[in-house]
Every structure is written in C-alpha cells, then in structure tokens.
Amino acid sequence: MQFTSETSSNGVVERSFTLDEITGVLWSPTSGTVGAPLLLSGHSGGMHKKAPGLVAGALHSVTTDGYTVAAIDAPGHGDRPRNLQDQQWVEAIRQARTAGEPIAPIVVDYSRSVAVRAVPEWRATLDALQALPEIGVDAPVGYGGVSLGVVTGLMLAAVEPRIAAVSFGGVFVDDALIEAAGRLTVPVEYRIPWDDEEYDRASGIALFSAFGSKEKSLHAYSGRHYPVPEYERDSSARFFTRHLGRAAVDSD
Amino acid sequence: MQFTSETSSNGVVERSFTLDEITGVLWSPTSGTVGAPLLLSGHSGGMHKKAPGLVAGALHSVTTDGYTVAAIDAPGHGDRPRNLQDQQWVEAIRQARTAGEPIAPIVVDYSRSVAVRAVPEWRATLDALQALPEIGVDAPVGYGGVSLGVVTGLMLAAVEPRIAAVSFGGVFVDDALIEAAGRLTVPVEYRIPWDDEEYDRASGIALFSAFGSKEKSLHAYSGRHYPVPEYERDSSARFFTRHLGRAAVDSD
C-alpha cells in the first residue's frame, strides 16, 4: 500500500493510496486513531471512492466517532480503467434509461460481475490496512455500502469473518442476492428509499426478510436514494458505534 | 385538572392528575420546563398510563431532551372502570388466545371503540395541560403510541392540529386504519416488530405505504413488540427533537 497524497482539513486527514491496481482513500481523525474502529465503504455503481454521499458519511464517522474510513474504486470505476465488457454494460444501462426500459436486469448482472472482482480487492485492502501501525489487527471492522456496494458487501461478509457489522442502502434485488442475504450472520441495518421508482419496494422488503442475521433493522424513508437524509446517515453511524464501539478520541 | 400526588427522583418530577373521569400522569424535568416540547403518550390495549415501555420512553425524553410527557389511562384501562361491553371484548380476546385463534379481528373492533372515546379525552387533557403556566400554548406537541395508542393517535391527529409529529409502534391494521393513515399529514415514524407473530408484516407495510405524510420513516426491527430495543426508543426521541425541538434545559 502506497500513499500518494495527503491533505488535512476540519480535523480529518485524507490520504489517497494505491495497492497494486487498486486506488483508494483513507480518512482518519487528525487527533489520532488509537482504538478506532475501521469502516469500509462501498460506493454505488457508476460512482467512485469519493462519491458525495460516501464522503459525507465518512466525514461524519471520523469527526463524530473517531473512526477510520476506507473506500476503494470498484473495478472499472473512478480512477480505474473500464474493460470492454463493463463498457458494454454501462452503455446498455444508458440505452435502457433513455428508452424508458427497466435497468434492473442489466444492473444486477453488471453489479455481480464487478462485485466478484471487488471482493478479493477489499480483502487485500483490509490486509494492508491492518498492517498499518495506526490501524492494526485489533480494530473492529464494519462495512457500509449502497447499491453495487451492497452486492459487494454481502459477498465480502460471506467470506470475511473480520466484518462484524454491515449497513446497507438501496439495491437491485435478484434471487442470488436473496440467497446471499440468507447467509449473513452479523448485525445489519438496511435502508430503502421508499419513493425511488427505480427500487422495487417489495423486493427490498424481501431482501430484509431474507437476512439471516439475528439483529436486523429496516429503515424505509420518504425520498429517493440520494441524498440520504441526514438523520439516516446519523442513524447508520450510531448503528456502527453500537456494534463496533467508538474511538478513544482525545478531544482536548 | 387536579394533581393528586407528586414524587421526584433522578431529575424527574412525576405528578398524577385527574380531569373529570380521566386519570393521568405528567413527567417533567426537575430543572424546569421553559420551552419544553410536550409529548402525549398512548399506551397499548390492556396496559395503562404507566406501562413499562411507556414509562421508559417518557423518562428518556424528560432526562435526555428536557421534554414534558403526559399519559392518560384509556377508558376501561388502568385506574378506570371497565364497562360491560369492554369486559366482553377483553374476555373474547382471552378466549381466542387460549384457543389459539387470531385475536386481530376482536382487537381491531375493541381498539376502535376505545379510541373513539379516548380522542375527546386527549383533547380535554391537552387543553388543561396548555392552561398550566409551566406548559402554555406555545409548547410544540407530539404524540407517541403503541397498538391501541396508534389507533387513538391517528384519530386524534385527524382532528387536532396541535399534534405536530407522531411516532407509532406496532398495531393491528384494518381498512379503517389504512384510511385514517391516508389523512395523516404530519411527520411520522413507524416501527414494526418484525418477529412478532401477532403482527402481520404485510399489513404493517401497507399501513406505512398509506401514511399521507410527506416525511415518513418505517423502522422494522428483529424482535417482538416488547421490549422495544433501546436504540429504537432512542431513535424515537431523536425523531421528536428533529420536529419539535429540544428544551432549553439549564443543565448547570
């Protein structure tokens, strides 16, 4: 893991990094990270590691709870080249939107393909993050994601016992995702944007029903998938502090 | 309104009161109530003004946000005599439970009858509370309730413009309740105990869909209707502070 830039403002250090082909960013409190939980944040399809909603959530967790937050570009997103098949999916989604046709079937296939590639990248990133002296192997780890980030997170949580809690936003649901949800065992909070016509409410409820976790919460809110209401962002941060704790921030 | 007893502990003053046939209780911070929002709290069927979950929520709002909280016994509940028809409903529910038959049809009729009688009592109670110098007419007013308390709250909010926000727990849903929900215009937070076999999930979702309010949130949580998880109680209090504000508590 190589850090390529570092800036600091409003109590938050932002460091860009690369790890082989992966491009990522790490946010942490300037006041230090002793005992800080680590949050992995997965962006939605078509977005990138500094998607506005992702950054807003990350800064909230860093400044309010002293968390360290990491985000990486999914394959073919952000600073990473897009291969031919991904380009074709993106073009197919664009054409479906233009034609007023449902995009869900295409998004589901595309997300799954990207997520399969992203899971080993997240695991390698987590290894590298835990090797940093300021994080270490004892930091509790959570994962938060939206859309593509949910597909990735469910596949990641299934193979990665270091993930102790997950917080998800809206996602296109298919049978494979329902099946993956059934294997989830860690606490989960799941949000549905109730007035977003692109997300089918019934399949969102079905996904929530399918989560195998003993503790699960569904939050449906009036509005669309972006922006997430501030009170929901706040709720997500509180969910993580319930399950991962809070950093011993020296606020003096 | 006549106060019949007053006790004080842990920063909370608890005063019992009567108003004609109504028996109620009022909780407020010992530190004073200047600018304190007023929360009306409706208990579930078979419970009373000091139901454990109701009291826990009330004490939380008083100590955390400086609220004044009022609860009254529904007709035929708590310290109030139960008429013959109510006794028959209660007995029918008991028999259905014993026989393993669904109680929802009986509860729906019983709740509606009690709620019709409770609505004018809540309005009279609110008049009397606003006539108290320590509350006044400028205090923002919210309503929280569970089960019977939801039926009452929906009928109350429909005729009572002083109710500015409502937070509801699980309830048995029928067509009349769905229709009442469609007339609701104030912000609403609604909780469904996802693993409570007595509450039908689909009709709970239908009720949420029906709320006419521009801002509405659904929270489904793993578990039964009691106890409500502490984080949901906390969320409800935060919902009210978003919409009603917080008291200017002198914490010194």
Q: Which domain holds residue A181?
A: 2-81+111-244
Which residues from chain A sit within 8 angstroms of residue B204, using beta carbons? none
Taking a contact as any Cβ pair under 8 Å apart, which residues of chain B between 20 and 59 contact chain A? Answer: none
| Inside any domain, residue A205 | yes
Single-letter amino acid code for the residue at B156: L
- The answer to whether residue A33 scores a pLDDT higher than 80 is no
Mean pLDDT (chain B) is 94
pLDDT digits (tens, 9 = 90+) for A214-246: 999 999 999 888 888 999 999 999 999 999 998
pLDDT greater than 70 at residue B123: yes
Q: What's the mean pLDDT in B150-155?
A: 97
Q: How far is CA B226 from the centre of its chain?
A: 14
Cα→Cα distances B208→A18, B39, B166, B179, B195, Å: 45, 22, 13, 12, 17
Among residues B187, B223, B220, B186, which one has the least CA distance to residue B205?
Answer: B220
Query: Quick one: average pLDDT of B126-142?
Result: 96
Each residue's pLDDT tens digit, B39-56: 999 999 999 999 999 999
Among A213, A222, A242, which would you mutate to test the B interface (most chain B Cβ atoms within 10 Å of its Cβ)? A222
Lookup result for tokens 């054409």: A95
Low-confidence winner among A122-126, B223-227, B229-233 (lowest mean pLDDT): B223-227
Residue A148 lies in a domain: yes
The answer to the question of residue A170 being in a domain is yes
A35-61 pLDDT per residue, tens: 799 999 999 999 999 999 999 999 999
Distance from C-alpha of A178 to C-alpha of A154, rounded to nearest angstrom = 10
Mean pLDDT in residue range B153-182: 96
> Distance between CA atoms of B249 and B67, rounded to whole angstroms?
9
* ipTM confidence: 0.84
Q: In this predicted model, what pLDDT tens digit does every residue of A120-139 receive, in sequence order?
A: 999 999 999 999 999 999 99
Of A209, A216, A222, the CB nearest to B214: A222
- Does residue A181 fall inside a structural domain? yes
Answer yes or no: are the C-beta atoms of B100 and B198 closer than 8 Å. Answer: no
Q: What is the mean pLDDT of residues B19-29?
A: 97
Q: For chain A, what is the domain count?
A: 1
Nearest chain B Cα distance for residue A150, angstroms: 19
pLDDT band at A249 (very low <50, low <70, confident <90, very high): low
Confidence of residue B251 (pLDDT cuts 50, 70, 90): very low
Task: Judge residue A146's burial from the number of C-beta atoms within 10 Å of its C-beta, 0-12 exposed, 13-18 middle, 19 or more buried.
Answer: buried
A217 inside domain: yes
Nearest chain A alpha carbon to B224: A215
Q: Which residues pair with A41 in a beta bridge?
A: A71, A144
pLDDT (0 to 100) of residue A251: 46
Of A201, A215, A219, the CB nearest to B217: A219
Q: What is the pLDDT of residue B35?
A: 80
In the predicted model, is pLDDT for residue A73 greater than 60?
Answer: yes
Q: Look at residue B88 and tell me if it is in a domain.
A: no
By 3-state DSSP, what share of chain B in percent is helix, strand and coil, each rounded to 5?
Answer: 40, 25, 35
For A10-115, list the strands marked E by DSSP: 12-19, 22-29, 38-42, 68-72
Q: Which two tokens stand for residue A191?
A: 């949000």
Asked if the structure places residue B99 within a domain, the reply is no
> Does residue B72 contact residue B49 with C-beta atoms inside 8 Å?
yes
Tens digit of pLDDT for each residue in A181-206? 999 999 999 999 999 888 889 999 99
Q: What Å distances lie between residue B192 and A50, A182, A242, B195, B230, CA to CA?
A: 35, 20, 20, 9, 15
Mean pLDDT of B137-151: 96
d(C-alpha A180, C-alpha B184), whole Å: 38
- Is residue B249 pLDDT above 80, yes or no? no
Which residue of B64, B215, B218, B228 to mutate against A (max A Cβ within 10 Å)? B218
Q: Which of A121-125, A149-153, A200-204, B89-93 has the lowest mean pLDDT?
A: A200-204
Distance CA A91, CA A71 (A): 25
Determine, yes or no, domain membership for B98: no
A34/A139: higher pLDDT: A139
Range 233-252 of B in CB contact (< 8 A) with A: 234-235, 238-239, 242
Q: Measured between alpha carbons, how far is residue B94 from residues A135, B90, B107 in Å?
A: 57, 6, 11
Tokens standing for residue A5 = 């830039």
Give the domain CATH number at A162: 3.40.50.1820
